[in-house]
Amino acid sequence: MAEDFRGFLDVLEKRGQLRRIKTLVDSDLEIAEIANRMLQCGGPGLLFENVKGAKYPVAVNIMGTVERICWAMNMKQPQELEDLGRKLAMLQQPKPPKKVAQAVEFGKVLFDVLKAKPSRDYFPPCQQVVIEGRDLDLNSLPLIRPYAGDAGKIVTLGLVITKDCETGTPNIGVYRLQLQSRNTMTVQWLSVRGGARHLRKAAERGKKLEIAIALGVHPLVIMAAATPIPMDLSEWLFAGLYGGGGIKLAKCRTVDLEVPAESEFVLEGTITPGEEMVDGPFGDHMGYYNQSKPCPLIRFNCMTHRKNPVYLTTFSGRPPKEEAMIAIALNRIYTPILRQQVPEIVDFFLPMEALSYKAAIIAIDKAYPGQARRAALAFWSALPQFTYTKFVIVVDKDINIRDPRQVVWAISSKVDPQRDVFIIPDTPFDKLDFATPKVGLGSRMGIDATTKVYPETDAEWGQQLEPDPQMAAIVDRRWKEYGLADINLDEVNANLFGYDMH
């Protein structure tokens, strides 16, 4: 397994999933336009080696497919991510083992936690080059501007690291930053995020908030920082659990914070509470430009980097984007945690086209009337990240929730709108959702697309059509005899069925 970001680039290149672009390109709009076309077709990661006005290469679309995210996690299939989710579920809500096998399994998980503890690197690669004071100029970084209506250049895949001034507990998040001057940026974070809470605490004590931005880290560290699971474990431990061993951390030079020692770049600075500048507008994950607003201003005093560093970036927007691929992987990790909290849920899926959180499809093992509604309500309250899910569709366990044709069939054949659709009005909502009638306040819809049982219906439910099992077995056995062995039944071109997908 690659230990750092550049090692992961080597993995991609060896597997034919990285293209080096030597032609001169512009970080203003051009890189994003090229990368967006690659994202749309599931193409390889890109390394731009000749960026206009920059001395550093730019990597983008590195996590543009679920396959590449699995590689970053040292896995082959997305289903393996659920094994990781089972570990996290066991740590989140540990239960006394009833069998020896359960005790052994729990012991293995605790051992994994011990292995995941980070270590200190006293000669970190991220500090091979140090730039401080007047020599610091953030314009030297090849920051991109993805869309024509964007207010400026942005940092996207940086780990934003802060610390609680009272407890010393660090928080690592992935937030967007806008370049404001040669040594300042604004940070865009929601008020509920850890960095925002740390800033409020610092303000209460009349202190500046120290902050560090780590750029160009291994994708699994980004995955750990993006995992909003309520657990008393630091993101550094998460990264260690994800990678199977503790990551190396380095002490910053000018602030009392730790960063991944293998980072390509590290920016160090402070936020003075109350000091803000206008941030935005920028293209956002909803597929629209968000509104400009005052955001906290970071004043940087130091930048360190590795020798011959590579700048890693991405951008938001209507899916598919790299953030959507990360969300699909996290969906798999959440599944065992969700099953532990809502046992009747067999599986759930957050479609990328629904922004990976606006709509959820849940499969349940239905046992009694009203269970679909109960499962939908339980889902909304199970984990904080489901608070902003607008639609929940509940289907039977025999429906493949990752096949939209089956889901649409279930809705069309099993739903009576008056009986099976329920709406909860005036609930807290995502302020970036322009569809809500009031900012931050919207409604939710649940759809019961399960087979109805008495007393949900007085009508006798029809028998569902199924192939004859004996004949299906005969056809399976004789498939080669028919001369059809070369036809792959698992590869379906949706455009053959009336879709227009490009």
Distance CA 257, CA 169 (A): 10
Residues recorded for the chain: 502
Q: Name residue 185's beta-bridge partners.
A: 179, 298
Distance CA 310, CA 20 (A): 13
Which tokens belong to 13? Answer: 């290149």
Phi and psi torsions of 247, nearest 5°: -85, 160
CB 265 within 8 A of CB 303: yes
- Single out the catalytic residue among 4, 121, 284, 420: 284
Distance CA 46, CA 23 (A): 12
SS3 category, 220:
helix
Which residue in the block uniquely carries the two structure tokens 């540990």?
94
CB 211 within 8 A of CB 160: yes
Beta pairing class for 119-120 and 248-251 = parallel
HSE on the CB side for 14, CA within 13 Å? 8
CA-based nearest residue to 3, from 162, 119, 176: 119
Which tokens belong to 342? Answer: 């809502």
CB 333 within 8 A of CB 327: no
Cα separation values, 52 from 22, 23, 56, 211, 396, Å: 11, 10, 10, 29, 54
CB 411 within 8 A of CB 393: yes
CA-based nearest residue to 290, from 298, 280, 278: 280
Which residue in the block uniquely carries the two structure tokens 């990976």?
356
Active site residue 284: yes
- DSSP H helices in 398-447: 404-414, 417-420
Distance CA 282, CA 290 (A): 6
Phi and psi torsions of 492, nearest 5°: -115, 125
Neighbours of 455 (CB within 10 A): 8
Q: Active-site residues: which are they?
A: 284
